[in-house]
Amino acid sequence: MSLLPITLFSLTSFPHAASAQNTGNSTTSERVGFVWEPNNRNTTTLLQSCVITLLCCTWAVLHLNIPAPNDGPWSLFKRKLKWMIVTLIAPEIICSVALRQWQESRSVVREMKELGVTWTTVQGFYAAMGGYVLQRRDNTKVPLLTSEIISLLKNNPEKEPSFQLPPLEESDIEDRSKAGGFAKFFTLAQTGWLVVQCIARRVENLPISQLEIATVAFATCTIVASGFWWDKPLDVRVTIPVRYDGDLPDSVNSSSKGWRDRETRQRVKMTTRIIMRGSKRSMFFNLVLPLFLFSTMFSSIHLVAWNYDFATPSEQSMWRTCSLTATLAPVVIAGSLQIASIWDSSIQSDTHDPITAPEFAALVVLCYFVSVLTYVTARAVLIFQVFYCLRSMPPEIYKSIAWVNYIPHV
């Protein structure tokens, strides 16, 4: 497997005749460094546009769950900063988390409907993000999972119910949210503005910087995550206390360590729900595969710069190698996990060869770790190249499109 990077490098080192296919980005001898003149488009405006878009992708779009009641402003800031860093390093994780939360909210809505309670997706999100808190007779509070709410309703006697959910309309939840549909649309519009700008430059046959291509990749992940999170309330801190007068069933964890422990248990419950819907095959397609598809989607956008004008042929070959490696490596990783799952099943059925099985397992593990290391390295090199390429760019990169300046934007 150590030959994988060398093989990819060889495949991307074709004759440079392919570069001539892109007339707008053909290699020229004239290069410019950083441009600080007060033009409509210079290095400062380029960085500003990309940084603002990245902030929208990593800060404004994040829809986190309800924090602990005693969390102060500093704790909330650190919590959101942590997820912002996670998004910058691996935006595919945010897409995967948003998908799983969307699946959980829809699952809760279906199960509540079977119990005679009609919920919308917004109400399902609110319950999944920690909106309901169980208040006992001794005034102790237990944050409820969605599975625990359903369990309490199922164990609730009809004549003398000991557990009742207070009525909560969708409009009440939206009032608690810090952003409505218009604010979310504005964030997506700002995020999508760079995408429109890049398309306009491609139509005008003007070059696009590698920094803009990388930012478009982040924007794409943001649009996907925002689609799954569209109905999820943003920055909600208010919870709804509910009372239960009887003895708690075993399915409710009354000895919870607190709000942070609830976050872990909720993730475990969501994963368990997906696993229990079918066999290991469905677990692979519902859990593993989406994450690596998002990774491939993010990395494949970097392939757009395959024939772009780089300062040196070696930089172009490095970009091609890393972008192709980052695109293909998640497929190899997902395949390794699926093969390992199949091999694990063969062990449990005692049908494997006792001599070749350990060797096969070692090969799969080696393939997995080499692919992960190759993927991380390729992503790190791409991040470095994105900013390193700014030192030497074709002069047309700072040529602006006239009609773009008449459209209001940040």
The per-residue pLDDT for range 232-264, each reduced to its tens digit, is 888 888 888 887 766 666 666 555 555 566 666
Is 404 within 8 Å of 200 (Cβ atoms)?
Answer: yes
| Spatial distance between the Cα atoms of 137 and 320, rounded to a whole number of angstroms | 64
pLDDT of residue 32: 82
The full set of domain ranges for the chain reads 4-19+32-406
pLDDT of residue 166: 79
| Spatial distance between the Cα atoms of 208 and 302, rounded to a whole number of angstroms | 12
For the segment 143-192, what is each residue's pLDDT rounded down to a tens digit? 788 888 888 787 776 655 667 777 777 777 776 666 655 666 777 777 77
The residue among 112, 116, 138 whose CA lies nearest residue 245 is 138
Q: Residues of the chain with pLDDT > 70: what percent? A: 68
C-alpha dist (Å) from residue 366 to 5, 35, 59, 321, 357: 15, 46, 36, 21, 14
For the segment 83-116, what is each residue's pLDDT rounded down to a tens digit? 888 888 889 889 988 998 898 888 889 988 888 8
pLDDT of residue 155: 74
For the full predicted model, state whether its pTM sits above 0.85: no
Amino acid at 315: E
Count of CA atoms in the C-beta half-sphere (13 A) of 345: 8
Query: Average pLDDT, stretch 19-48?
Result: 66
pLDDT of 77 over the 80 cut? yes
- Give the three-state DSSP class for 85: helix
Residues of 91-130 as b/e, b for ≥16 C-beta within 10 angstroms? bbbbbbbbbbbbbbbebbbebbeeeeeebebbbbbbbbbb
| More confident site: 199 or 334 | 199
| More confident site: 245 or 333 | 333
Angle at 374 between CA 368 and CA 375, to 5 degrees: 90
pLDDT of residue 183: 63
Is 269 within 8 Å of 263 (Cβ atoms)?
Answer: no
Mean pLDDT score of the chain: 75
| More confident site: 186 or 282 | 186
Going by pLDDT thresholds of 50, 70 and 90, the confidence category of residue 9 is very low
